[in-house]
Amino acid sequence: MKKQSNNNILPKPDFVFRKKNYVVMAIGLAVIALGFILMAGGGSDDPNVFNPEIYNFRRIRLAPTIVLIGFGIEVYAILLNPNKKKKQ
């Protein structure tokens, strides 16, 4: 009997995340970036002039909420198990 050599077989790398995890992570990063873009601006070009636009709804309420939603999506992407089988 001949023994077969297993030297040519490389172990397949076992990644923690799958493609679905990375797609959801990319969506979360895009939502976080959108929140920070909405926070930008509102300042005055002249430091001696106060611009009350810095305290509008978009910068104080909407943008931080969107950033927090993006962080929630990131947590979901990390905890997502794409290998879970559905019971039928």
Whether the pTM exceeds 0.85: the reply is: no
Q: Could you say which DSSP state residue 38 is in?
A: H
**Which amino acid belongs to residue 49?**
V
Please give the span between the terminal C-alpha atoms of the chain, in angstroms, as a whole number. 47
Q: d(Cα 56, Cα 40) in Å, to the nearest integer?
A: 12
Task: Note down pLDDT in tens along the chain; length 88 residues.
Answer: 555 556 678 877 777 889 999 999 999 999 999 999 999 987 777 888 888 888 899 999 999 999 999 999 999 999 998 777 766 5
